[in-house]
Amino acid sequence: MAQLIVRDLEDDLKARLRERARARGHSMEEEARRILRGALMQPSPSPTGGLGARIAARFRGIELGADESFPELRGETVRSAELEMPPARTAGARAGRAPRRR
């Protein structure tokens, strides 16, 4: 088995590792091995994958219904959304009160 020496480890980090190991009933070395295994067993993101790749990975395996589809938008021009503003209301109407009469 290989060995790993970690130099310049902050005292606070070492203390937190010691406490975590103690709470779980492990030695500091075993706890460090478990942390490394857990972190490295997860698939790492592709260095070329951007936001789109991360979104696709998150929803991979979710099937759309027969009547659901999403058009491919690659190469489309980006447009701002066209939203309709509700009619302006008086201050009293916004608060749920009738407007004051003068």
pLDDT tens per residue across span 48-62:
677 887 788 888 888
Q: In the chain, where are the structural domains located?
A: 9-43
pLDDT tens digits for range 11-25: 999 999 999 999 999
Q: What are phi and psi of 43, to 5 degrees?
A: -65, 130
Spatial separation of the C-alpha atoms in residues 74 and 46, rounded to whole Å = 21
In the chain, the amino acid numbered 69 is S
Give the pair of three-digit tokens for residue 57: 């990975």
Mean pLDDT over 17-46 rounds to 90
Whether the per-residue pLDDT at 100 is higher than 70: the answer is: no
pLDDT for res 46? 62
